[in-house]
Structures are given as C-alpha cells and as structure tokens.
C-alpha cells in the first residue's frame, strides 16, 4: 500500500482522529510508533516513517506509544469496503482464524496458497499473516493484563501465544516494558462476576440512538435486548459462549464481556465492532450522501448513522428469511417459537440476559409484540445464543410457524452452512455468497442483499424492493418505484447500505408523524 508522505504528515500535524487506523506514524528518533492523532509534539519530518499497519511498524523495530495507544485505534475502514482477498484476510485475522487454525487454515479459507497470501499481505500492509496475528495477540494480551487478575502465564496462553517466553518477548518488543509493568496504571476495568469492561474506539460522529432503535425493534426474548441505553446479547464464539453489553459513551463504546473461555476475547471484540460498524468512516459516508438534496437534511440532522450488522451470519440469514413479506412483529413471534422449540435450559450460561428484552426509546407495542408466554419463559434460562445451523436443520416441522416454502428456505441455508458450501461470516466472499444464495430455493434478491449488508458487512448493498425503503423514499419526495429508485441510488455508491438505513429511518419517522 502506497502512503503519500505529505498527506500523512499533514494529518499527523493536525492530529486528525479520522485517520486513526488508516496508517501509523513511526518516529525513528524515539523508536516508537503512534496513531496520527497522538497528542505528543509533532516529530520532525526527517524522523518520520509511515506504515500501513501496526504489524509493519513492529516489524521495523518500533514499539507502541504508551500515550496514544495505537494498538486500540479503530480498524481501517478500507477492510470493510474491500471485498478482495486482502480485505477478507484482515477480517478473518481479526476474528482469530490464524490463532485457531494457523496460516494454512487462513489460506484454505481464502482459497490461496500460503506463499501467495503472504506476498499479497506484505504488499498491502507491510507484514505477513503471522506478523498481523502477532500484533493482535499482543493487543489481546495487554487487554487481559490490564483488565483481569489472571496470572501472566494464563494470559499468555489465553491470548494465543505458544509459550510464556514468546509472550514475554513479544510484550517487551511491542510495548517496551515487561508484562508486569503494564498492570501499573491500568485503564480497563474489572467488572463483577468475572466480566471484562473495555473501551471500543470509533471514528466520530456516531449516531448511537439510530443503532439502538434499529436493534430494539428486532430483539428476541432471551437472545438480545435493549434496556437503559445498553444493547445486550449472547455470543457463540469459537471456544465457548459469552455475553456482550454495549453502551454508547462519549468517544467510545463501553463493552462489558462475559466469556466462558478467555481465548475468545479477540473474536468477541471483533464481532462487537462489526455489529456496531465501529470501523466505518462516517465523514466519508456522509459527504457522499449529503450531496443528494433528498438525503442532505437527514445527514445534517443525524450525522454518523451506521449500518447495524451481525455477530452471527447464519442467524442473520434466518432472520431475513423469517421477515420475508411479513411485519417485524410477526417475524419476531415466529422466530421466538422456533428458538423455544430448539433450545433447552442451560445452567452454565453466563449471567445477564435474565428476562425477555425490554426495548427502550421506541414503540413498546411494536418491539415487544405477542410472544407466547411459554416460549418466552423457556428462553429465560437458555444459552442466550441463536441456535446453530445443525440445530435448526434438526428442528421439527412444528417449530416453523411459517409457510412451507419459507421453512424449506431456512433449512436449505442451514444445510449449505453445515456442509461447508456457504460462508455467511464477515470473511465470506461476497460475490460467491450471493451466487450460492441465489441457487437456494426461496432466496431472492432482497434476502441476498439483506444478508450481504448485515452479515457480510457490504457497505454498498441496496434493497429497492424493500417496503420500508420505498416508503422512506416516498417520504423524502423520491420515486418509490423499485426500478426507478434503483437507478437513482447509483449516486449513493459506494455507500448504498447507509442510504438504506437512512431510508428506513425516514419511513419510521413518516409513520410516527402519520400516527400522531
């Protein structure tokens, strides 16, 4: 990746937070690397080098600045936009694939040889997959050191290191101090019941109310909830289960995580960031959408609207199919019955989701709906995680209170996931996923687009046939004809997914105004 020195240096000189995560500043005179917004005195030009990744800076022998903490910068928004191999690799590395399956496993997931993958990542990021995973491992270890009372040996293996010696050497190399020194002046907090409380950075602005309103309308009892300005949900992770509580705060998202296995910290953080779209560049998005007179007032009034995504791609596909041609209220009731048919009480579930969701800040009647009391009671003690593809595939017909065609569409998706023919996670190849979905019965363009937008994180998906999108377009004075609207939406590229969210909000506002 080529970095323009003058542009990067101007960003550093202005301490522009928007560039945090885009690149890293290496200062050769001090031997450290920083985020562009570091509050320290701007280094002289001849002492500065710029790197496309923290791993590249570490590879050059630089250690992380302890003042600006570049290792906790928001991720580069480029990896959300790009659907190529490098973008997919970065999303998979963030999810811990290298730590679990090694570089061979990552290469297999991407369909390339290890050598070719290494060459592509080196060219784009200045570091290979092992170095990139090592940088993340160091960040995970630092988080555990600062936020738990675990012994350092336990932390070493929980963070993915192969030995305590490797752990000690890496921490010294990356942070310039031994691991024990990082516990001095710790920033993260230790919560009750073994919870970890972390700060998830993002690029401002962030319209948190839009995120919470959207998620509140779609909560499922025992699975997730919005209450008192916090979104809570269960997580199914590579080594176990967990629960996340995400609360928007000033300049960050306060994340409280309860994990059955601390090796899942990095995947849990990556999935929470993906869910809240925290690596987005909202200024770039709003600049594009704000040039359209139809969207300009909404962009000015509500800057930083994000695309609510998913922590479980299969769950999102099932939700999408269940919502086909029915209201959110009806889909919620249907899904609650399906889940209650599958799940049984689980005594080892992390504490937290102790009752059906009570969404806040939105129409309670719309959010809560008519969920059967027996179904809701059964979910109170469940794992808090959406059923797996195997569990859904084995569910009896009676669990599917929906048309046969929709039931068989869900089973077809579950079967494809179980057989390894469909990868619905963030690292999936978007074009290939769309092609495979289109081959399944009961899956049309709307469902495939919805899955691309929310599960795969495609920033440029558009849903011209969506009823709420059409209503929102009409409310803004645009044509609600799908073909006409689809052509018009070309001006919103490459951020059409964000335009969809704004149209949904316009439809909701119009509906509430009509009701009053």
**Which residues carry out catalysis?**
34, 466
Half-sphere exposure of 265 (CA within 13 A, CB side): 27
Coil/strand/helix, residue 469: helix
Quick check: 209 and 303 in contact, CB under 8 A?
Answer: no
Chain centroid offset of residue 116 CA: 27
Nearest 5°: phi and psi at 311? -100, -5
Total residue count of the chain as it appears in this document:
516
SS (H, E, C) 434-445: HHHHHCCCCCCH
3-state helix, strand, coil in the chain (%, to 5): 50, 10, 40
Quick check: 465 and 449 in contact, CB under 8 A?
Answer: no
Q: Which two tokens stand for residue 317?
A: 């596909």
Q: What CA–CA distances, in Å, run from 84 to 117, 133, 158, 201, 429?
A: 12, 19, 30, 25, 8
d(CA 393, CA 179): 46
The full DSSP string for 27-85 is ETTTTEEE-TT--SPPPPGGGEEEESSHHHHHHTT-EE-TTT-GGGSPPPTHHHH--SH
d(CA 99, CA 138): 12
Nearest to 47, CA basis, from 95, 9, 15: 9
d(CA 82, CA 20): 18
- Which residues does residue 226 pair with via DSSP β-bridges, in sequence order? 231
């Amino acid at each position: 990746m080529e970095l323009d020195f003058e542009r990067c240096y101007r960003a550093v000189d202005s301490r522009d937070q928007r560039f945090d995560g885009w690149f890293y500043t290496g200062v050769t005179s001090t031997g450290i690397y920083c985020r562009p917004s570091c509050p320290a005195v701007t280094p002289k030009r001849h002492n500065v080098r710029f790197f496309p990744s923290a791993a590249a800076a570490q590879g050059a022998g630089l250690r992380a600045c302890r003042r600006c903490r570049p290792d906790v910068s928001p991720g580069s928004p480029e990896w959300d936009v790009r659907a190529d191999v490098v973008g997919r690799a970065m999303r998979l590395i963030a999810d811990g694939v290298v730590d679990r399956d090694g570089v061979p496993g990552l290469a297999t997931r991407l369909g390339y040889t290890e050598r070719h993958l290494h060459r592509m990542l080196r060219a784009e990021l200045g570091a290979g997959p092992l170095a990139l995973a090592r940088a993340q491992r160091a960040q995970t270890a630092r988080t555990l050191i600062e936020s738990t009372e675990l012994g350092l040996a336990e932390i070493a293996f929980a963070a993915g290191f192969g030995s305590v010696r490797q752990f000690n050497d890496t921490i010294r190399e990356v942070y310039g101090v031994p691991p024990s020194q990082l516990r001095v002046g710790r920033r993260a907090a230790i919560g009750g019941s073994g919870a970890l409380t972390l700060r998830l950075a993002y690029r401002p602005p962030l319209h948190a109310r839009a995120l919470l309103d959207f998620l509140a309308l779609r909560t499922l009892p025992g699975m997730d909830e919005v209450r008192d300005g916090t979104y809570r949900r269960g997580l199914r992770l590579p080594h176990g289960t967990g629960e996340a509580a995400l609360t928007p705060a000033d300049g960050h998202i306060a994340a409280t995580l309860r994990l059955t296995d601390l090796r899942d910290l990095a995947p849990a953080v990556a999935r929470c960031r993906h869910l809240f779209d925290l690596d987005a560049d909202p200024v770039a998005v709003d600049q594009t959408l704000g040039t359209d007179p139809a969207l300009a007032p909404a962009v000015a009034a509500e800057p930083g609207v994000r695309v609510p995504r998913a922590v479980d791609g299969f769950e999102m596909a099932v939700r999408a199919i269940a919502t086909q041609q029915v209201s959110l209220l009806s889909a919620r009731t249907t899904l609650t019955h399906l889940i209650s048919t599958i799940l049984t009480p689980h005594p080892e579930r992390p504490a937290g989701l102790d009752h059906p969701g009570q969404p806040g800040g939105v129409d309670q009647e719309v959010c809560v709906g008519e969920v059967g009391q027996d179904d809701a009671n059964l979910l109170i003690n469940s794992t808090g995680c959406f059923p797996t593809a195997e569990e859904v595939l084995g569910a009896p017909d009676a669990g599917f209170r929906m048309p046969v065609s929709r039931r068989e569409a869900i089973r077809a998706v579950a079967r494809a996931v179980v057989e390894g023919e469909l990868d619905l996670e963030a690292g999936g190849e978007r074009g290939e996923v769309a092609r495979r979905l289109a081959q399944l019965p009961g899956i049309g363009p709307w469902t495939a687009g919805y899955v691309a937008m929310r599960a795969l994180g495609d920033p440029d998906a558009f849903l011209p046939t969506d009823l709420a999108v059409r209503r929102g377009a009409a409310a803004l004075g645009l044509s609600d004809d799908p073909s006409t609207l689809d052509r018009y939406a070309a001006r919103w590229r490459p951020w059409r997914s964000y335009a969809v969210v704004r149209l949904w909000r316009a439809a909701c506002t119009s509906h509430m105004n009509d009701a009053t």
